[in-house]
Amino acid sequence: MSLPNRPTKILCVGRNYRAHAEELGQDVPTEPLIFLKPPSSLLANGDAIRLPRGAGRVDHEGEIAVVVGRRAHRVGEDEAFSYLAGVVPANDVTARDLQRKDSQWTRAKGFDTFCPVGEPVPLDPEEWPDLVVRTRVNGELRQEGRVSDLVFSLPFLLAYVTRIMTLEPGDLLLTGSPPGVAPLQAGDRVEVEIPGVGTVENPVEEASA
């Protein structure tokens, strides 16, 4: 994986597509719903997502992610893009049953191999509004979302997050998953593509222990 720096944190945004909130039977947040995945969950293109024993249903969540390029603290929306080094496809793999069971999402989102990330490419602010993310499982299209469908825009998210915590070079921000999340099974191949940017593709297998 060729991230410019290993991230100190992986920030994610929950229910940032209205239709995804609806498919989960939940309301759209009135402000960004942020959570963290540990850097130990990172997975390179081609490596296997491992389904933990006893975790129940494990879903794919294809997303558009951005890589922080320089230290960001209290960033204004108008300068947000100048702090970003690249854009990359990512998969916020989620143990759905555990997410529903726990009052917070750390366990459901944090297993090893639960954050496949592709190769970042430079982020062009002019092209950002036209980006699309697609998730396929065994070649079948499961998810498709557009940046224009985000509830909270990327500049707003970066400004919001950096009023809470400082972002360091290499940190990742996943912008949310479109509708169509579904369970993964051992033997599947899951592919998250941002056309014109790249793809992260991973086989799925049962964890050995």
Question: What domains does the chain contain, in order, with CATH numbers?
Answer: 10-206 (3.90.850.10)
Which pLDDT value is given to residue 208? 87
Q: What pLDDT is stored for residue 76 in this prediction?
A: 98
- Whole-number percent of the chain with pLDDT over 90: 90
Q: Above 80 in pLDDT, residue 82?
A: yes
Considering only residues 1 and 178, tell me which one the structure prediction assigns the higher pLDDT. Answer: 178
Checking if the pLDDT of 161 tops 90, the result is yes
Contacting residues for 34 by C-beta, under 8 A, at least 6 apart? 11, 12, 13, 14, 160, 161, 164
pLDDT of residue 2: 62
- Amino acid 24: pLDDT: 78
Average pLDDT of span 106-134: 97
For residue 113, name the pLDDT band (cuts at 50, 70, 90): very high
Per-residue pLDDT tens over the stretch 125-158: 999 999 999 999 999 999 999 999 999 999 999 9
Mean pLDDT of the 47-56 span: 96
* Residue 1 pLDDT > 70: no
pLDDT for the residue 20: 83
Mean pLDDT over 174-199 rounds to 97
* Mean pLDDT for the stretch of residues 163-181: 97
What is the average per-residue pLDDT within 184-196? 98
Look over the chain and give the mean of its residue pLDDT values, rounded to a whole number: 95
> Which tokens is 28 given?
């759209």
For residue 4, pLDDT over 60 is answered with yes
What pLDDT shows up at residue 135? Answer: 98
pTM recorded for the entire structure = 0.95
Would you state the pLDDT for residue 27? 83
